Every structure is written in structure tokens, then in C-alpha cells.
Amino acid sequence: MEIEFGKQRRLAEAVGVSPQRINDYLSGRRNASPKIAQRLGDKTGSDPFIWVLPGSAPARQAAVAGWSPPAAEAGEGAAWPYPQVEHTNFF
């Protein structure tokens, strides 16, 4: 199962690790530390043990496939808070 890079990047930002590290977790090349496993479990709504145990890459991929990134927070893709002003060339 291939998880798109944008989703991996958003999950990495939410957890506080690099997107490459998320990719390593999903492919099974690396297992998460208990602290990161807890964060991943909280963010994806999955059991944290799947992120620590070897050989659980399919369960990890399924957990991320069902995860939805949170809506944009203020300052991150949010609308400009000031009214748009039409600029006039005075020269």
C-alpha cells in the first residue's frame, strides 16, 4: 500500500519527526521509539504497539491510510486576516 507523500509529511509535522522517518516506519525499515509510538498512536487512532513491534508494516500503513490530517490552523494556510486593498499605481 502506497501512502502519498503529502499525507506522510503532514503526519511527520503532527508527530514531530522527519517525513523520511515516517516513510521508514511505514515500510518496516525502522521501528518507532515508545515515545514516538505513543504520539503516532494518538494521532492515527491506532494501537501504539504496531509502531514498536517488528513486522507490523501492513498494520501501520492501514492506520495511516485511514488518518485524516487536521484542518489548517491559524497561520498555516489560513485566510489572510486583513481586507484586500486594490493597489493603484500613483506614478
Return the CATH number at 26: 1.10.260.40
In the three-class reduction of DSSP (H, G, I as helix; E, B as strand; rest coil), residue 82 is classed as: coil
Cα of 45 vs its chain's centroid, Å: 13
Domain that holds residue 54: 5-65
Of residues 11, 1, 2, the one with CA closest to residue 69: 11
Residues of the chain with pLDDT under 50: 73-75, 77-78, 80, 82
Q: What is the number of structural domains in the chain?
A: 1
pTM above 0.85, yes or no: no
In a domain, 90, yes or no: no
Environment class of 23 (CB within 10 Å of its CB; exposed 0-12, middle 13-18, buried 19+)? middle
Residue 59 has a pLDDT of 87
Give the span between the Cα atoms of 83 and 91, in whole angstroms.
24
In a domain, 88, yes or no: no
Neighbours of 81 (CB within 10 A): 7
